[in-house]
Amino acid sequence: MKIDHIGIATRQLKEATALWHDALGLEVDSSEEVGEQGVRIAMLPIGETHIELLEPLTPDSPIGKFLDKRGPGIHHIAIRVDDILAALRQMKEKGARLIDETPRVGAGGCLVAFIHPSSTNGVLLELVQPQ
Ligand code: CO
């Protein structure tokens, strides 16, 4: 397993990518809209992982609500797994509170599922299985 990406909530993707690009020299690998989650994202590779910048499409989307409540900042950590169904089953067996009982299609066509922060030391956890 490894860290697939670290998700950072931003108000404006354009502003945020300019900073991460100009100040740190990271390139934007891909950028897309995930309509189902009400978010526009940009992936910036860094070493073996990525920074995922998130911008809400609407104020009442999950990222919009997060920004409203807590402002910009780290939103989630994503762990890459080989078998997301097995990982979800194991986490459930160990008492973790799942947000997604079944995986859905996320950025880059990956299968993703979120684990509630109340089970993971206050950090929203995303499991990612590349397609
Ligand atoms: Co993510």
- Å from CA of 79 to ligand 1 middle: 9
Q: How far is the CA of 7 from the centre of ligand 1 (A)?
A: 5
Ligand 1 centroid vs 6 CA: distance in angstroms? 7
The stretches in the chain having pLDDT less than 50 are none
- E strand residue ranges, 67-122: 73-80, 104-105, 111-115
- pLDDT value at position 16? 93
Q: Give distance in angstroms: CA of 94 to centre of ligand 1.
A: 23
Q: Cα(23) to centroid of ligand 1, in Å?
A: 23
* Helix or strand holding residue 125 (H, E): strand 125-129
Residues 6 or more apart in contact with residue 77 via CB below 8 angstroms: 3, 6, 7, 123, 124, 125, 126
Q: Give residue 67's pLDDT.
A: 97
Q: Which CATH number fits domain 2-129: 2.20.25.90, 3.10.180.10, 3.30.43.10, 3.40.50.150?
A: 3.10.180.10
Residue 77 Cα, ligand 1 centroid: separation in angstroms?
7
Q: How far is the CA of 54 from the centre of ligand 1 (A)?
A: 8
Q: What percent of the chain has pLDDT over 70?
A: 100
Domains of the chain by residue range: 2-129
Cα of 22 to ligand 1 centre, how many Å? 23
pLDDT of residue 18: 86
- Asked if 26 and 42 touch (Cβ cutoff 8 Å), the reply is no
| Distance from Cα 115 to the centre of ligand 1, integer Å | 12
CA of 76 to the centre of ligand 1 (A): 7
**Prediction pTM value:** 0.92
